[in-house]
Homo-oligomer: A and B are copies of this chain.
Amino acid sequence: MQEKTTRTDLADLGEFGLIKHLTSEIKPSNSSTVIGIGDDGAVLDYEGREIVVSTDMLVEGVHFDMAFSPLKHLGYKSIVVNISDIYAMNAQPRQVTVSLAISSKYSVEAIEELYSGMVLACKMYGVDIIGGDTTTSNSGLIISITALGEVVKGKSVQRSGAKETDLLVLSGDLGGAYLGLQLLNREKEVWKANPNMQPDLDGHDYILERQLKPEARKDIIKLLADLDICPTSMIDISDGLSSEIKHICDQSNVGVELYEDKIPIDPTTYQLARDFNLDPTLCALSGGEDYELLFTISLEDYDKIKSNQDLSIIGHITAKSAGLNMITKNGVSVELKAQGWDGIGAKD
């Protein structure tokens, strides 16, 4: 493989040049993409299906740290976090638009790396890049992505449909992405103190991947369809379990009882939380960025999922008057607060 040593300034290409350069190889693969990149707008045909639209903005220094985010991973992640929202509506992502504001510290080659991660994620999830915008930024990199997906009419799942006695179900496990960030921040501080030190990341592949290259749970949407389960409500874990539960309860006008001992936490996540003197449960509740799916199902669907290793029943929906509570490992009921990152002080 040839080593990349070239540095091309963005100004050498100009805006139109950069767009052409990045997108010249991109060909739509979905039948719903009638016209892709290259005009005032893209044209889509969803042939009677409903359209789901979601948008997210990622800002350097707020959502990612260039000290430890490889650009290709960052590109991949920026697509994944957006299409995760489409899955959380029970829809299939089909298209994305990608807008970038880029400061002059980035070379064309750096933006190519970023874009290659985006293209890879789009390929993995069967999504077309149909347009976007590139512009100058005065500080750092800003990524704004809008994702579009399709769903059979009336089959989208909102946050608002949870009913009393419904089961609260979660895919995968939690806290890993947050611990990955803690580990990267620790090694960054070590490196800042002594740039000759090599970062000590051995044995932490799982949590690092959870932070740097998360996946969206396409498989869960397929599984639910195969099992003929239509969740009564659904959301993805971007801000943390407690925050997402609160969204569902607020919008469904219900309460919840969450069981601490049922919250799935990977053993390596658990151990690292202990090493950092952090409560593993708090990392799951408030860490966020795990991009797992949290949903509620009717009690009668219990048998269909009870033996699935990738789904955990972590609680059940109660009357609104009962409030939002967590039954701790000690059997005590405590009020569940949506803390986001503030509770553990890592992110603003």
A residues lining the B interface (CB < 8 Å):
34-35, 38-48, 50-63, 85-86, 88-89, 91, 95, 97, 99-101, 130-133, 135-140, 142, 144, 146-149, 151, 153, 156, 158-160, 234-236, 251, 348
Chosen A-B contacts, 12 in total, with CB atoms closer than 8 Å, are: A39-B159, A40-B85, A41-B88, A41-B149, A43-B156, A53-B97, A53-B131, A55-B99, A55-B131, A56-B99, A57-B142, A142-B144
Distance in Å from the Cβ of A266 to the closest Cβ of chain B? 24
Distance in Å from the Cβ of A57 to the closest Cβ of chain B? 4
Distance in Å from the Cβ of A46 to the closest Cβ of chain B? 7
Distance in Å from the Cβ of A169 to the closest Cβ of chain B? 16
Report Cα–Cα, A52/B130, bound state, in Å: 10
Report Cα–Cα, A131/B158, bound state, in Å: 14
Q: Work out how many copies of this chain go into the complex.
A: 2
Closest to A38 in B: B251
Residues of chain B with a CB closer than 8 A to A101's CB: 57, 59, 62, 142
Residues of chain B with a CB closer than 8 A to A59's CB: 101, 135-138, 142
Contact B235 A40 (CB under 8 A): yes
Contact B43 A51 (CB under 8 A): yes
Residues of chain B with a CB closer than 8 A to A147's CB: 41
Distance in Å from the Cβ of A89 to the closest Cβ of chain B? 5
Report Cα–Cα, A160/B41, bound state, in Å: 13
Distance in Å from the Cβ of A224 to the closest Cβ of chain B? 15
Residues of chain B with a CB closer than 8 A to A55's CB: 97, 99, 131-133, 144, 146
Q: Which of B45, B53, B63, B99 touches A148 (beta carbons < 8 Å)?
A: B53
Contact B40 A54 (CB under 8 A): yes
Residues of chain B with a CB closer than 8 A to A54's CB: 40-42, 97, 131
Residues of chain B with a CB closer than 8 A to A91's CB: 41
Contact A41 B99 (CB under 8 A): no
Contact B39 A89 (CB under 8 A): yes
Contact A44 B51 (CB under 8 A): yes
Report Cα–Cα, A303/B85, bound state, in Å: 51
Q: Which of B47, B56, B140 touches A138 (beta carbons < 8 Å)?
A: B140
8 nearest interchain CB pairs?
A144-B144, A41-B54, A40-B88, A146-B146, A40-B85, A139-B139, A44-B51, A55-B97
Contact B86 A41 (CB under 8 A): yes
Closest to A32 in B: B51
Contact B139 A62 (CB under 8 A): no
Residues of chain B with a CB closer than 8 A to A41's CB: 52-54, 85-86, 88-89, 91, 147, 149, 156
Report Cα–Cα, A44/B50, bound state, in Å: 6
Asked whether A99 and B50 contact (CB < 8 A) given A138-B59, A235-B40, the answer is: no
Contact B131 A61 (CB under 8 A): no
